[in-house]
Structure 1
Amino acid sequence: MRQRKQNLDRFDGYVMNDIPIRLIRLSDMKFVGRGDVRKHFRSSVEHSYSYYPHEHVKYAILSHRWLDGGEPTYEEMKAGTASGPGYEKLKKFCEKAREYDTEFAWSDTCCIDKSSSTELDESIRSMFRWYENSTICIVHLAQSKTIEGILHDEWTRRVWTLQELLAPRNIKIFNKYWIPLTGHRNDKEDQESKVMETLETATGIPRCDLYSFSPHFLPQRLDERMAWAARRKATRVEDVAYSLMGIFDVSLQIAYGEGGDRAFRRLIDAIMQDGDPSILNWVGNHAPFSVSRAVPYSPESFVGSRNVMLDIFTQPLEMNMTSLGLRVSLVILPLSYHSHEEQGPLRLHVVLGCPLCPTIKVDINPLAHALEWQHLSQFEYALGIVNYSLFSERSRKVLGIRGKSVGLILYRNSCSSSSLSSLICNPRGTDFVGFKFASPPEETSRWELLHGVGLIEVEFPNIPSESLFFIDPEYLETVHL
């Protein structure tokens, strides 16, 4: 009895929080709420120690491309007046859902009361989880007749369908005529199938991730996830950010009208709170109107970044957005200018050396407009290592550096600014009593992030990649980028 009571509590919590707010009952095409679903499945709760609610609370979910017009609305479904091509598509979906022994179904066209901002907000924040917990995700490709047609189907190029592909454990793909593209009951069950190979080609997502994806897999490879979304389009510009919340396991307040730039900056800020440095591995344009130039403009900024490996033992990197920029502590190692050459109108090839380790040469290809390239030798450069470890032993601290370290390229003007010196005035001692004066600070400009480079790997000589060597904590510096 005690075990069943625990299972009932788990069941109640699951139904009231982890499935859609509203479902379609397939027997009569009427809406039901979570309370109705709880009553329907409550008798199925077992005494078993291995009871998992998602295996018993079964519903189908639809993934599709919206029609330009004619999709059934919540109000029409509630009034029983839905009709037209969108409603015919919904009925076909429900017909296929019944073949999977489900009694309930969900579609984003009509199962959300969009007149309720509270319901819309919860639905958008929860949608990844709703797809993840579905028994089967029915995919309708309105532009495809064959598996090869997937390569050109608009379904593979929309922002919302990315999570609809990744989140479900089971998917079944139908062509424009509602004919299944394969004989499999679950099109994810065989990684080597032709449909999985075609999906990999069409989306740029590795088959292993298509087969089984979780936002919590380590290493997280946040830069790679962003690149998956780079070529996808949205009708509402804010959806570029909102559609990625589940894939990065973050939550944002929904605020249509804020603009795509602001929404994406908020997404990046939320992702940075997790401390994974791979979110810094981008090479495109930075976000406009941001206090930090370390914030990328969009998912497209991540296309073309280097493939760097951050192992699962990398300590979280504390990153905080402030009025001065992105505040982050990096291990700063000086670099020196060696040579450069132009590579077309947009890129440079720059070689930097490391005075502290002369065998190291850093080859980078920054954007040409990121520096006054005619004066490259007049800048100071540094490697800001992100995958270091900080160890404390009593009152002593040391930095652990990996044989293969990963870092950002920073630069600053080596010439001191005269802005402060022009303001200095030495007070007369007769005008002040008891003041403790100090000498002016030494002037140095702030480190800036060199754009178009992203994260780079540096291998220290004669030290295995994953081994550590230890250096003085004086190299750890807090910067604002």
Structure 2
Amino acid sequence: MRLLNVHTYALHEFIGTDIPYYAILSHCWESEEVTFQALKAGEAAQMKGWIKIKGCCEQAIEEGLNYAWIDTCCIDKSSSAELSEAINSMFTWYQMAESCYVYLSDVFFKPYAPTFNGSDPEWLKSFQSSKWFTRGWTLQELLAPGTVVFFDKNWKEFGTKESLEDQVISITGIRHLFDFEKASIAQRFSWASKRETTRIEDTAYCLMGIFGVNMPLLYGEGAAAFLRLQLEILKISNDETLFAWEDPSLSHVCHTR
């Protein structure tokens, strides 16, 4: 596992169980994200995505943590083997994190508002409309971590998964925010049915951790990835609700993460 030192912004490799405490970032990919290559080349601070890196590291420091995991720069995506390992491990990495920081670049918290009022219609509408709730990969990032903290575009904290539980349930329809394993297979698939990913294959790959399965990545296989996912689930589960999803609609999978 590769982690970012939040003090020096240097990347460090950790193997096996020798992994320090760390924070983890959840966000939607946008333009000029800081990649592994950009960080190594010293170009990160000039990129738009630097606000995410810097904000995540500053929050981790406040929490007394020395490391953070950020998907844009902690994975060398030029290595197909590393990418496959990371995607198969990602759910566990979110589970293991001390805190998950959800950065919502499309939500702006008013400077004069001391706290987030979850019943305020204006703010509830802003929160509800965040694209973070429409992306496939962010589903596991909501469910896996024990602690999820929400931040607006200026890195102002305005709530947690626990304090905003009612609002998050209203937005997502997920009542098993803290015990997703108790939900049926059909329920878990329904949570993802209205979410989008860039690649058709990622519709399946982003759900592997939620169902507790692993499989090799085969970008280019298209909707066949979803069938492979079902077959892997069938190996470990007797839940017959799986068959309610034999012919899923994948037509919505055409937007960005």
Would you call these one fold, judging by a TM-score over 0.5? yes
Q: CA deviation at 1:110?
A: 0.8
> Is the alpha carbon distance of 1:120 and 1:165 closer, same or farther for their aligned partners in structure 2, counting shifts above 3 Å?
same
Q: CA deviation at 1:280?
A: 2.1
Residue 156 of structure 1 pairs with residue 133 of structure 2: yes
C-alpha contact 1:61 1:138 (8 A) present in aligned 2: yes
Name segments (4+ residues, structure 1) moved above 3 Å.
35-38
Letter in 2 for 1:123: A
CA RMSD of aligned residues (A): 1.9
Residue 114 of structure 1 pairs with residue 77 of structure 2: yes
| Counterpart in the other structure of 2:254 | none
Letter in 2 for 1:78: K
**What is the CA–CA distance in structure 2 between the aligned matches of 1:244 and 1:203, rounded to whole Å?**
16
* CA distances 1:36-87 after superposition (whole Å, capped 9, x unpaired): 993xx7xxxxxxxxxxxxxxx31000000111x2111101111222121101
Letter in 2 for 1:34: F
Residue 197 of structure 1 pairs with residue 166 of structure 2: yes
Residue 145 of structure 1 pairs with residue 114 of structure 2: no
1:256 to 192, 203, 219: 219
Letter in 2 for 1:137: C
Q: CA deviation at 1:113?
A: 0.6
* More relative contact order, 1 or 2 (CA 8 Å, 6+ apart): 2
SS of residue in 1 equivalent to 2:3: strand
**What is the CA–CA distance in structure 2 between the aligned matches of 1:80 and 1:37, rounded to whole Å?**
30
Letter in 2 for 1:171: V
**What is the CA–CA distance in structure 1 between the aligned matches of 2:90 and 2:184, rounded to whole Å?**
22
C-alpha contact 2:204 2:225 (8 A) present in aligned 1: yes
Residue 226 of structure 1 pairs with residue 189 of structure 2: yes
* CA distances 1:326-353 after superposition (whole Å, capped 9, x unpaired): xxxxxxxxxxxxxxxxxxxxxxxxxxxx
Residue 90 of structure 1 pairs with residue 48 of structure 2: no
Matches within 5 A, 1:45-444: 57-67=20-30, 69-82=31-44, 83-146=46-109, 147-148=123-124, 149-182=126-159, 187-188=160-161, 190=162, 193=163, 195-206=164-175, 209-210=176-177, 212-215=178-181, 217=182, 220-259=183-222, 261-274=223-236, 275-282=238-245, 295-298=246-249
Q: CA deviation at 1:299?
A: 7.6
**What is the CA–CA distance in structure 2 between the aligned matches of 1:232 and 1:26, rounded to whole Å?**
31
Query: What TM-score, normalized by structure 2, do the two folds share?
Result: 0.86
Letter in 2 for 1:155: W
Q: CA deviation at 1:144?
A: 1.3
Letter in 2 for 1:150: F
Structure 2: where are the runs of 5+ without partners? 110-122, 252-257
Letter in 2 for 1:96: Q
> Is the alpha carbon distance of 1:277 and 1:118 closer, same or farther for their aligned partners in structure 2, counting shifts above 3 Å?
same
* CA distances 1:379-431 after superposition (whole Å, capped 9, x unpaired): xxxxxxxxxxxxxxxxxxxxxxxxxxxxxxxxxxxxxxxxxxxxxxxxxxxxx
Letter in 1 for 2:179: F
Q: CA deviation at 1:171?
A: 1.1
**What is the CA–CA distance in structure 2 between the aligned matches of 1:196 and 1:79, rounded to whole Å?**
41
**What is the CA–CA distance in structure 2 between the aligned matches of 1:91 and 1:263, rounded to whole Å?**
35
Q: CA deviation at 1:298?
A: 4.0
> Is the alpha carbon distance of 1:36 and 1:81 closer, same or farther for their aligned partners in structure 2, counting shifts above 3 Å?
farther
**What is the CA–CA distance in structure 1 between the aligned matches of 2:16 and 2:189, rounded to whole Å?**
38
* CA distances 1:271-301 after superposition (whole Å, capped 9, x unpaired): 112222121235xxxxxxxxxxxx222489x
* CA distances 1:115-146 after superposition (whole Å, capped 9, x unpaired): 11111000000100000000000001111125
C-alpha contact 1:264 1:298 (8 A) present in aligned 2: no
Q: How many residues align?
A: 235
C-alpha contact 1:25 1:31 (8 A) present in aligned 2: yes
Q: CA deviation at 1:100?
A: 1.3
**What is the CA–CA distance in structure 2 between the aligned matches of 1:177 and 1:145, rounded to whole Å?**
7
* Higher fraction of helix: 2
Residue 24 of structure 1 pairs with residue 24 of structure 2: no
C-alpha contact 1:226 1:299 (8 A) present in aligned 2: no
C-alpha contact 1:227 1:299 (8 A) present in aligned 2: no
C-alpha contact 1:167 1:213 (8 A) present in aligned 2: no
Query: What TM-score, normalized by structure 1, do the two folds share?
Result: 0.47
State the structure with more CA Rg: 1
Q: CA deviation at 1:214?
A: 4.9
**What is the CA–CA distance in structure 2 between the aligned matches of 1:115 and 1:176, rounded to whole Å?**
29
> Is the alpha carbon distance of 1:203 and 1:28 closer, same or farther for their aligned partners in structure 2, counting shifts above 3 Å?
same
Letter in 2 for 1:265: L
**What is the CA–CA distance in structure 2 between the aligned matches of 1:162 and 1:122, rounded to whole Å?**
19
SS of residue in 1 equivalent to 2:150: strand
* Higher fraction of strand: 1
Structure 1: where are the runs of 5+ without partners? 1-20, 42-56, 283-294, 301-481
